[in-house]
Structure 1
């Protein structure tokens, strides 16, 4: 059983996560966040900690930010977009148990202290910015690091705020370069 409480968007997400792991969960039911849900999230964050697992889309990111404002420090798990697609529908509920387990195993805390280990130069030097396939490369590196897909600005923020080490970054790049070019 996972110690932390997993916060997801809806009941279908709970069903999908239950197929993958034994854990307590809270559903936000989208953007609504009824008062009792906010209180449950706060209580869980204070007593057991929480892992945020929202859909890999714009709405999921907005809900993630709202959860952070309610709970403060929490772990973040990301499912890659292609692992959460079913037709035109994107969401945790579409992910396989294996994708959910991998996302939860890769969950990381977001740092509250400002860190500048990585800069735009790192992104440019590694074709993660200002390159024809930068978007794809960021997506692949984000999957390897467990920080999900993001635009360049958000990706840089995640590199710095999720405690990614230079060694982890370099290893992820080495692995994706091997996969792409071999």
Structure 2
């Protein structure tokens, strides 16, 4: 089977210019929060033969746009995330504000978010992995996954949306602990 071409969806022209400065892939611009039906239809059509990667800003509007596009594709898309603190310059927050190194790292971690209510990690597994009472560890794992820092309930939902099972999460915890020990 032929590998699908990748197409990245971003919010604005500056995002496209920044990404195309180091990665030559087709990029669709949503023109900010006003995602038109025309743009959604184009993305849907392209998704039939291409892999769509949504890479929006780590702010409220970016999350809103991500949700609109993802739902219009019945979650038949992938996601890249950049942490807010890496995409902030002054008062501006966005993909275009991030440095190239951080953008490359973000685009190296692509997630397929499942919306089939599949449970990869049970609440008991979550408690037994000792993440529940360790906010610092939970936040470090969020950093590792390139998702926003969140509370236990949201973290648990993210892990299941990202289809991360108990064994995978244990491995991530080991890697995060090794990184923490290396920095101490």
TM-score norm. by structure 1 comes to 0.84
Aligned 8 A contact 2:5 2:49 in 1: no
Partner of 1:70: 72
Counterparts of 1:31-70 in structure 2, within 5 Å, are 31-70=33-72
For residue 137 of structure 1, what is the aligned residue in structure 2? 137
Q: Which residue of 1 aligns with 2:97?
A: 94
> RMSD over aligned Cα, in angstroms?
2.2
Q: Which moved more, 1:99-108 or 1:152-161?
A: 152-161
Partner of 1:171 in structure 2? 171
Quick one: structure 1 residues 98 and 34, their matched pair in 2 at CA, closer, same or farther if it must change by over 3 Å? same
| C-alpha contact 2:129 2:170 (8 A) present in aligned 1 | no
User: Which string of whole-angstrom CA distances, capped at 9 and with x for unpartnered residues, describes residues 24-69 of structure 1?
Assistant: 1111112211222111111121220200101112221111100112
Per-residue CA distance 1:76-105 (angstroms, 9 max, x = gap)? 111122221212322111112222222222
Aligned residues: 177
CA contact (8 A) 1:145 1:168 kept: no
TM-score after normalising by structure 2: 0.83
Summarize the Cα distance change of 1:107–1:88 in structure 2 as closer, same or farther, 3 Å threshold.
same
1:112 is aligned to 2:115:
yes
Shift of 1:154: 3.0
The 4+ residue runs of structure 1 with deviation greater than 6 A are: none
CA contact (8 A) 1:20 1:100 kept: no
Instruction: Say which SS state the counterpart of residue 20 (structure 1) adopts.
Output: coil
In the alignment, structure 2 segments of 5+ residues that lack a partner are none
Q: Which residue of 2 aligns with 1:160?
A: 160
Q: Are the equivalent residues in 1 in contact too, given 2:125–2:166 (CA < 8 A)?
A: no
Q: Describe the SS at the equivalent of 2:8.
A: strand
Q: Distance in 1 between matches of 2:112 and 2:64?
A: 18
Alpha-carbon contact 1:127-1:137 (below 8 Å) kept: no
Q: Does 1:149 align with 2:148?
A: yes
